[in-house]
Homo-oligomer: A and B are copies of this chain.
């Protein structure tokens, strides 16, 4: 079928063992033998079989990376970060997209295990399943190193790299409160999800710190999508229920919210204020100076890869990394100059 190591051995007049040594840059090979082998490999266009190699060795040099939303640049940047470190260490990475689909995630884990990957770096889907005992078991059954990114798993003790979401929203909300805002709407996701909880907590903590009671109607539950945020904001506009400020808790939510405001020609910060969590390159393009608490996704990817490598080499290092997002104040937090809409 394919050219094999045996063909190379015959053609170059050495044994299979020697060919193997050359391929793997192992020591104890004479210059002469090496030359002959390399020549044969080139002439016969030999490509080693990853399967045969994988079967012989008992482990691969692959780490899997599983993300939920490939079209979100946030995850693209994470992949960039992971790749940087993996390249340095000579590890291959296998990228999988789950589309926020728990069934797909389970399938991906199965495949990754079949490929005997060294470890899996994963941002879990945010299904309701996150709470399911079964869901946690899915992770626990994986007896390979796992590094979580960005989203914790409730009730599960897994290492990972996270942003301090609570602190981020605390900062964002505090800034608004400091700017005299009292009516601040926050679009949230399912309150049961870990991904929502920390952020909402930060929001609440800020109010508490300022001794201002939280108005529950300002916490509006939707999904973590542009569309959801867009629809909700539009409803607020048409129902004339706009607050004096929004805090966006994810790049996609911010985007949906801003989209609706733009559509109705509601200016920031003249008509309403806005502070977002997480950036998008696109935000630069707006003719408003958006105040954002920014996450460094590339750095998250890098740290996740480093953590994984430490785990693989058995190093007893810190196993939970918490990254601090950085607030960049640009003016959109200022109290609306015009009357409230």
Contact A255 B285, beta carbon cutoff 8 Å: yes
Name the residue of chain B whose CB is nearest to the CB of A87.
B104
Task: Please tell me if the beta carbons of B83 and A79 are within 8 angstroms of each other in the complex.
Answer: no
CA separation between A58 and B52, bound complex, in Å?
A: 11
B55–A52 CB distance below 8 A: yes
When A55-B55, A226-B281 are in contact, do A76 and B83 touch as well, CB less than 8 Å? Answer: no
Q: Could you mark each residue 239-272 of chain A with 1 if its beta carbon is under 8 Å from any beta carbon of chain B, else 0? A: 0000000000000000100110011010000000
Kindly report which residue of chain B lies nearest to residue A56, judged by CB atoms: B51
Partner of A114 from B49, B259, B262, B282 at Cβ < 8 Å: B49
Chain B residues closer than 8 Å to A54, beta-carbon distance: 49-51, 54
The reply to whether A94 and B94 contact each other, CB–CB distance below 8 Å, is yes
Contact B1 A58 (CB under 8 A): yes
Q: Does A110 contact B (CB under 8 A)?
A: yes
- A321 to chain B: closest CB distance in Å? 22
Q: Can you name 11 A-B pairs with beta carbons within 8 Å?
A: A47-B110, A49-B54, A50-B54, A51-B54, A55-B55, A70-B80, A255-B281, A255-B285, A259-B284, A262-B285, A265-B287
Interchain CA distance A255-B73 in the complex, whole Å: 15
Cα distance A51–B51 when bound, in Å?
A: 4
- A interface vs B, CB < 8 Å? 1-2, 45, 47-55, 58, 70-73, 76-77, 79-80, 83, 92, 94-97, 99, 110-111, 113-116, 141, 226, 255, 258-259, 262-263, 265, 280-282, 284-287
- Which chain B residues border A45 with CB–CB below 8 Å? 141
Residue from A95, A111, A285 whose CB has the most chain B CB atoms within 10 Å: A285
Contact residues in B for A2 (Cβ distance below 8 Å): 116
Q: A70-B76, A72-B73, A265-B287 are in contact. List 17 more A-B contacts (CB 8 A).
A: A47-B110, A49-B114, A50-B114, A51-B51, A52-B55, A53-B114, A71-B76, A72-B76, A73-B76, A80-B99, A83-B97, A83-B99, A255-B282, A282-B282, A282-B285, A285-B286, A286-B286
Q: In the bound complex, do residue B114 and residue A48 qualify as a contact, i.e. CB atoms below 8 Å apart?
A: yes
How far does the Cβ of A313 sit from chain B's closest Cβ, in whole Å?
A: 19
Give the nearest-CB partner of A47 in chain B.
B113
Residue in chain B with minimal CB distance to A110: B47
What B residues does A92 contact at CB under 8 A? 111
Tell me the number of copies of this protein: 2
Inter-chain contacts of A79 with B (CB < 8 A): 70, 97
Q: A50-B115, A51-B116, A116-B51 are in contact. Are A262 and B282 (CB under 8 A)?
A: no
Cα distance A265–B1 in the bound complex, in angstroms: 64
A114 to B263, CA, bound (A): 51
Find A71's partner among B52, B55, B80, B111 (CB 8 Å cutoff): B80
Q: Which residues of the partner chain B approach A95 to less than 8 Å between Cβ atoms?
A: 94-97
User: Inside 8 A of A115's CB, which chain B residues have their CB?
Assistant: 50-51
Complex: A94 Cα to B117 Cα, angstroms: 14
Shortest distance in angstroms between A271's beta carbon and chain B's nearest beta carbon? 13
Q: What B residues does A58 contact at CB under 8 A?
A: 1
A93 and chain B: residue at smallest CB distance: B96
Q: Which residues of B contact A110 (CB under 8 A)?
A: 47
Cα distance A300–B188 in the bound complex, in angstroms: 34
Docked CA distance A258–B284 (Å): 10
